[in-house]
């Protein structure tokens, strides 16, 4: 990005993307005092783990096997004979016991180790990890992979782990081993279009859910207005899934988020909107318009402002289509107002835009 997004705005993007209202309030200080994104995530992690001190770490029943003087649970005679436990007047038993050494806490422990071994972490952020290290001292680490975060079962009693696991997953994705043994380097995810695209999309979606209570908001699969003539054709037909469909009683909107370093493409004589993006939103509109009530649906292509701002509006085959940028470097109150105006089909609050085409 030409103009880096301020840390406080990254904080707000993540608060919506992770659907964590707690980030909006008492943790704002972490954003204001963080010199880098790594420090921000480290402090959110530290505060999240510290908040577990009062309710205690999540626990679950784990099977234990120990050599005991008194029978507990189910005796394991085969193992007892193997160990010659009777010579010590003992017996091996299998039993269940509540224990905090479970998957979600083990992910926290591994993330803590990686943070402490990460180059570039500030002194204050590193100091904030002292309490988490104490709380997690008896927890075993675990090897992290792309599936482990989705194996944690969250429910009403441990849903406060959701934010922490999101922080852990983002840190895992952005940390790479350094040349120094046992150290890690954090890759700034502002430089990754794939990561920022996901965050941007989730931010817009959850913002819409929260601020458009009178509308039905969802990501939707759109069926092609046609049919495949054979099985092979059906299997090769690409699917269409929108980032956001907003359904008001009197207005229908399809919005697609595009987090690109270069929102425009360079033509022979000038810059233009990306053809593939217009084709995509047009396909969404035409195929969704056959659904009852959606005949006049509107489309929006939403980009972050990078090199220039623009707000282009078209009428394509009876459908209103808008391609517009959202400046993520502005004060957060302006970002909220601008995004809400775009969703409602109004002129954005900040009018400093130059259209690409009229």
HSE of 216, CA atoms in CB hemisphere, 13 A: 7
Give 170-195 as a 3 state SS string. HHHHHEEECCCCCCEEECCHHHCHHH
Helix (H) or strand (E) holding 10: helix 7-17
* Nearest C-alpha neighbor of 299 from the set 251, 354, 254: 254
Confidence of residue 16 (pLDDT cuts 50, 70, 90): very high
Q: Tell me the pLDDT tens digit for each residue of 287-325.
A: 999 999 999 999 999 999 877 899 999 999 999 999 999
Assess contact for 142 and 151: CB atoms under 8 A.
Answer: no
Reported CATH class of domain 194-343: alpha beta
343 Cβ partners below 8 Å, 6+ apart?
208, 211, 212, 246, 253, 255
Residue 118: enclosing H or E segment and its boundaries? strand 118-119
User: How far is it, in rounded angstroms, from Cα 328 to Cα 326?
Assistant: 6
> What mean pLDDT comes out for the span 35-63?
90
What are the residue boundaries of the structural domains of the chain, listed by start? 7-57+102-191, 67-95, 194-343
pLDDT tens digits, one per residue of 17-43: 998 765 545 455 566 667 889 999 999
- Residue 240 has phi, psi (to 5 degrees) of -125, 115
String of DSSP letters for 299-350: EEEEEE-SS---EEEEEETTEEEEEEEE-TTS-HHHHHHHHHHHHTT---S-
Calpha distance 201→205 (Å, rounded): 6
Highest mean pLDDT out of 49-58, 214-223, 343-352: 214-223
Distance separating alpha carbons of residues 65 and 93, to the nearest angstrom:
6
Mean pLDDT of the chain: 88
The per-residue pLDDT for 191 is 83
Q: How far apart are CA 258 and CA 274, in angstroms?
A: 10
């Amino acid at each position: 990005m030409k103009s880096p997004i301020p840390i406080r705005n990254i904080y707000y993007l993540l608060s919506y993307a992770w659907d964590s209202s707690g980030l909006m309030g008492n943790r704002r200080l972490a954003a204001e005092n963080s010199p880098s994104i790594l420090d921000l995530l480290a402090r959110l992690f530290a505060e999240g783990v510290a908040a577990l001190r009062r309710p205690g770490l999540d626990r679950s029943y784990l099977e234990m096997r120990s050599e005991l003087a008194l029978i507990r649970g189910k005796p394991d005679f085969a193992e007892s004979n193997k160990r010659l436990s009777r010579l010590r007047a003992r017996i091996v038993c299998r039993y269940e016991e509540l224990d905090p050494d479970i998957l979600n806490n083990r992910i926290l422990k591994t993330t803590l180790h990686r943070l402490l071994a990460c180059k570039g972490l500030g002194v204050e952020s590193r100091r904030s990890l002292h309490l988490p290290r104490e709380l997690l001292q008896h927890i075993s680490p675990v090897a992290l992979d792309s599936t482990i975060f989705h194996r944690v079962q969250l429910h009403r009693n441990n849903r406060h782990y959701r934010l922490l696991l999101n922080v852990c997953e983002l840190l895992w994705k952005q940390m790479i081993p350094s040349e120094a043994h046992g150290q890690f380097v954090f890759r700034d995810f502002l430089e990754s279009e794939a990561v920022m695209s996901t965050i941007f999309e989730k931010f817009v979606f959850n913002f819409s859910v929260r601020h458009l209570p009178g509308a039905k908001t969802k990501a939707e699969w759109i069926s092609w207005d046609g049919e495949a003539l054979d099985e092979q054709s059906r299997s090769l037909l690409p699917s269409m899934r929108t980032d956001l469909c907003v359904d008001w009683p009197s207005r229908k909107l399809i919005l697609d988020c595009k987090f690109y370093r270069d929102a425009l493409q360079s033509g022979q004589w000038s810059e233009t909107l990306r053809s593939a993006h217009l084709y995509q939103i047009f396909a969404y509109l035409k195929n969704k318009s056959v659904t009852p009530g959606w005949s006049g649906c509107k489309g929006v292509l939403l980009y972050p402002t990078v090199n220039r701002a623009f707000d282009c509006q078209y009428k394509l085959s009876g459908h209103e289509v808008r391609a517009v940028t959202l400046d993520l470097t502005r004060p957060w109150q302006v970002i909220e107002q601008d995004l809400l105006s775009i969703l409602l089909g109004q002129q954005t609050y900040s009018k400093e835009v130059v259209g690409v085409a009229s």
